[in-house]
Structure 1
């Protein structure tokens, strides 16, 4: 294993696992640990599939053809979120409140692997500034995929998968559009700042609003009583 690969693994997966703990530590006992890590591994596989389509140029936001760029901006967003929806809308997850938690782990696995393959491979470890900015981008992307996985999971838990798939795809679409503007001359620093703020904002929204709302009312009251005592 070379230094770049090791750095990519550390940058992609250490934050993903840390964010998994941050998202779900308050909800211990509300989900099956085994399913949680299976969906995390499943997300890694889906992230590899999503990244492979870009590596093989099925999608290319940096294409010299504008119409193909636009198609790629839309296609990447809808393809990535369709992969997550395909898993989270399986019969074993439909209509179950804990699907939101598994969506979080699926999204984190997806974001960790996707970042490792697509983003981390471009790092130049001898250039500390670009590496630092790259790490910020990776963290922002992981946060966003975690949030979108949770949103889709919540949609599947209340049997509205198409509606929440649409929300997730549109949220993802905005990030892709900002990425495209960097190829048109938008400062890279703007993209870095936007990515981390955008990802962190949706992550905060999911933690504060979506995860608590996913619990049945009885469990929600029990959790509130427990948290007051902590």
Structure 2
């Protein structure tokens, strides 16, 4: 369907397509979809999406069939990879060229069980997080303007006053990292270097803190296991695919 749209639109951008043209293309796409036995969105009506509340953690953002926010800095992939060297990629081994693929569900279960055990041990022994705070005046002139304790305090007060109820209370940017709702329980501030953009060795401080939310990721991992076991319990488990978004 996407390829048909590109061909009909002569590979023009959305901004160059009028509303009337867009409706014409949409109608033609729906017509193509009907001839292929698909619904108006180009989806197979016989394909069922599974997204169920966890039996163990029904209010968790992870669901049976849906893994929340996996790839960003605070996502489960980054947290697990840094902690135990296993992440969702390791568990499911997605095919790079395909969004929908059929994992080896039995193998995935075994790897997931190991990940749960390893991460549980990690939380017991090292319940910490690490944030690298880099400094580069060429990239961040705002940082270079803070030259005293008083100016740093003024910046904090200003950021608190600028914050609205719709903005996150813990946030970061060029002006700094701010923890206004849940201050970090800092255990160590360690000087070093870190890579950022095309700079491999920017000066930085590594902030080591007591991580209070690692259980969220452990519970998420347990829901991943619930998903796998849900599939394995089905009589037609060989027909279950995973939709992977990189």
Query: TM-score under structure 1 normalisation?
Result: 0.23
Q: Which is richer in helix? A: 1
- Structure number with the bigger relative contact order (C-alpha 8 A, sep ≥ 6) is 1
Q: Which is richer in strand? A: 2
Query: TM-score under structure 2 normalisation?
Result: 0.22
Which protein has the larger Cα radius of gyration, Structure 1 or Structure 2?
Answer: 2
